Amino acid sequence: MTKKEKIIFIENTLDNLYPNPPIPLDHKDAYTLLIAVLLSAQCTDIRVNKVTPALFKLADNPQKMSKVSVEKIKEIIRPCGLSPRKSQAISDLSKIIMEKHNGKVPDSFEELEALPGVGHKTASVVMSQAFGVPAFPVDTHIHRLAFRWNLSNGKNVEQTEKDLKCLFPEKKWNILHLQIIYYGREYCTARAHDVENCIICLKVGKKMLNK
């Protein structure tokens, strides 16, 4: 199988399985998505979705959140882990959005990544899913699968992102990001990986690939 054939096979398989993948984090706009993605660091989406209703009931925009004490935020988000750091970041970035961005989440990588607690992966999710800008956020699922499918050497997420952007057309990046996450959770898990039930690994997994 050539590299082009492999890419087409992966795209077709994911399109058939997940033609319209939803964003796994519950949100209603760019701000609530930003907060949810920030909370998801080292935490499952399921747990984040259990925590955010109470947080967003208290404050669902930067104006309201900037007035909430860090201690109150920390109390609510504690189940997500890293609550001292995350609560401070949520408070600080909300104030910055009000002071520097007229209460609107900035729509550029540079400005997003300048916000407290917002790294490149978080910025990429917001840019792609909130603003429709082509991006390829790489989380642990995508990093793991890219290595298993021999799409990247797996050294770090930065290299994986570069490799995937070179292999797949830009117009597919935003949906592929979600498709690979869902596939990784359902078929290509980190533990107890059932290769016989993993369509893509059977076809293009490292042991199946031609050198």
Measured CA to CA, the distance from residue 97 to residue 36 in angstroms comes to 16
* Amino acid, single-letter form, for residue 66: S
The number of CA neighbours under 13 Å toward the Cβ of 183 is 30
Q: Which residues are catalytic?
A: 121, 139
> CA of 198: how far to CAs of 3, 67, 76, 186, 205, in Å?
19, 48, 38, 9, 9
For residue 152, what is the DSSP state? Answer: S
